[in-house]
Amino acid sequence: MSSVDRPEIAEECGVFGIYGNPDAARVAFFGIFSLQHRGQESAGIAASDGHKIRMHRDMGLVTQVFQEERLAELRGYIAIGHTRYSTTGSSVLRNVQPLLCECDLGPIALAHNGDLINAIELRDEMLARGIEFETTNDSEVIIKLIAYSGACTAEEAIIEAMKKIRGAYAVVIMTRDKLIGIRDPFGIRPLCIGRLNGSEYVIASETCALNTIGAQFVREVEPGEMIVVDERGLQEIQAVPREGSALCVFEYVYFARPDSRMYGRTMHDVRRRMGHELAKEHPAPGAHIVFPIPDTGTPHAIGFAEASRIPYAEGVIKNRYIHRTFIQPDQRMRELGVRMKLTPLKESLAGRKVVMVEDSIVRGTTIGPTIKMIREAGAVEVHVRIASPPYKHPCFYGIDTANQNELIAAKLSVEEIRQYIGADSLGYLSLPGLIRAIGVRRDKLCCACLDGKYPVEVPKAAKLSKFVFEEPAGVK
């Protein structure tokens, strides 16, 4: 998914937690600011001073939600933060995280990245018991399972919840005096541990958040593991049995920031290698330049240019001040949306045969207008190269693509897609080529959106819409 295509596919959230810093909320601010690429709809931070949890959250980007006076109010040495892209529940204030719940265990705050595949079943069971819900997201299912468990400790309650929930989750949880991180038994969503100033601990979605605050990377949270940080230090608990390794392959293709590391590999380097493999599989002899759709296609295009020895150039300029644009679903408005975000460089394109590199095509709604714009700028041929295989299958683990009917590669062949988008040629990186570039064994990755092999069995009743918990008329 390119920057232009972002409304077509996005991951749910970024989560961050810090323990032991006297200005924890401020550290959390910089943490979730570093994770802004994982969600731009809303942001929130909760902090604890050991007695009381204070929280602020709102719609908007991190820098819009938090100013100096807000951070000063969030006193404490523990904090968790969240930045959201919605995959379950509307983008409205009541669904903003962290969530906060008062229960017999005391106040508990929670921030979640992922999607539960049995949320409907669990929610219905709790509703039948008289438990009320205030949001329409599946994250509240997790916090309510913890709050109403009847367990004696937060750790016991969380383990009970982990035994019931199924799907993808990377979660940070805060009590009055503890920071806790948990990861699903397959490790579908990323979560890592860092150390700051020798004695402070950090839990975050990506290592780029550690870099920003000057923390050292310790390791990744293992599948099914629970990390507990309190006055005794860090404790490692295998809360539920590990069922495998299935990190989302799209972390490598698009989601993670280029400077983040997973399985010991930097995303930028992996994406360059994807470009190398793409050039081997789908060369473009006779092309004059290679250019990306910035920013996500940049390392892929650099790799393609290196391997093909076709000069790398800037073909389009991105408007850096646009994050997400909610545009009307008619063709004219889509084209205007593309032109708001991208400006072609006629000097680079005019009279030339060009290779345009994207990381993926999902719904295929904006790439056609982009190609049209490039032709209007004078390109005589436009050859499109995609640094991932065709996206054919829905995701139920935290990506907003649960409806297969919306996926263009599920309906059209590669040649039909080429005709539909108006390219002179179209080449996708193969799945073996993608795996070679990543350098991680296939059995350690979730590639369900590409090959239909789901690591966690998806029930027939799985949600097909992120509005599954909402009233038919929608949330106002």
Among residues 13, 192, 446, 449, the one annotated as catalytic is 13
Contact in structure between 299 and 277 (CB atoms under 8 Å): no
Helical ranges in 183-330 per DSSP H = 207-213, 250, 267-281, 298-308
Question: Measured between alpha carbons, how far is 165 from 121 in angstroms, rounded to an integer?
Answer: 10
Whether pLDDT at 4 is above 70: no
List pLDDT tens digits, range 6-56: 444 555 689 999 999 999 999 999 999 999 999 888 999 999 999 999 999
pLDDT at 1: 40
Best CA proximity match to 8, nearest among 327, 270, 316: 327
User: The domain 266-444: what is its CATH number?
Assistant: 3.40.50.2020
Q: In whole angstroms, give the CA distance from residue 94 to residue 386.
A: 38
Return mean pLDDT, the chain: 90
Q: pLDDT exceeding 70 applies to what percent of the chain? A: 89
Q: Report, as an integer, the average pLDDT of 254-283.
A: 96
Say whether 266-444 and 6-244 share the same fold.
no
Task: Give the SS3 label for residue 293.
Answer: coil
Question: Within a 10 A sphere around the Cβ of 152, how many other Cβ atoms?
Answer: 10
Which amino acid appears at position 406 of this protein?
E
Give the separation between CA 383 and CA 369, rounded to whole angstroms. Answer: 14
d(CA 120, CA 300): 39
Please give the single-letter amino acid code of residue 337: G
Q: With a cut of 70, say whether residue 335 has pLDDT above it.
A: no
From the CB of residue 310, how many other CB atoms can be counted at a distance below 10 Å? 21
Percent pLDDT > 90 in the chain is 81
Is-contact 195 216, C-beta < 8 A? yes
Q: How many CB atoms lie within 10 A of CB 70?
A: 14
Q: Comparing C-alpha atoms, which of 315, 413, 313 is closest to residue 371? A: 315
pLDDT value, residue 461: 59
- Beta carbons of 195 and 202 less than 8 angstroms apart: yes
Please report the pLDDT score of residue 476 as a whole number.
31
Q: Which CATH class is domain 6-244?
A: alpha beta
pLDDT digits (tens, 9 = 90+) for 289-319: 999 999 889 999 999 999 999 999 999 998 8
Residue 13 is a catalytic residue? yes
Res. 329 pLDDT band, cuts 50 70 90: very low
Contact of 137 with 86, CB cutoff 8 Å: yes
> CA distances (Å), 372 to each of 97, 171, 318, 357, in order?
40, 42, 16, 15
The token duo for 444 is 């350690």
- Domain ranges in the chain? 6-244, 266-444
| pLDDT value, residue 375 | 97
Query: Which residues lie below 8 Å from residue 361, measured CB to CB, with a gap of 6+?
Result: 5, 367, 386, 390, 391, 408, 409, 417, 421
Give the DSSP letter string of 307-345.
HHTPPB---EEE-TT-------SSHHHHHHHHHHHEEE-
pLDDT at position 89, please? 45
Task: Give SS3 for 296.
Answer: coil
Instruction: Write the CA distances from 384 to 342, 360, 371, 415, integer angstroms.
Output: 17, 11, 9, 12
From 59-73, 224-238, 383-397, 457-471, the region with the lowest mean pLDDT? 457-471
In 191-297, where does DSSP find H-type helix? 207-213, 250, 267-281
Q: Is the pLDDT of residue 185 over 90?
A: yes
How many CB atoms are closer than 10 A to CB 279? 25
d(CA 96, CA 111): 9
What mean pLDDT is predicted for residues 144-160? 97
Kindly give, in sequence order, each residue whose CB lies less than 8 Å from that of residue 328, ignoring residues fewer than 6 positions away: none
* pLDDT of the residue at 136: 86
pLDDT digits (tens, 9 = 90+) for 92-141: 688 899 999 999 999 999 999 999 999 999 999 999 999 999 998 899 99
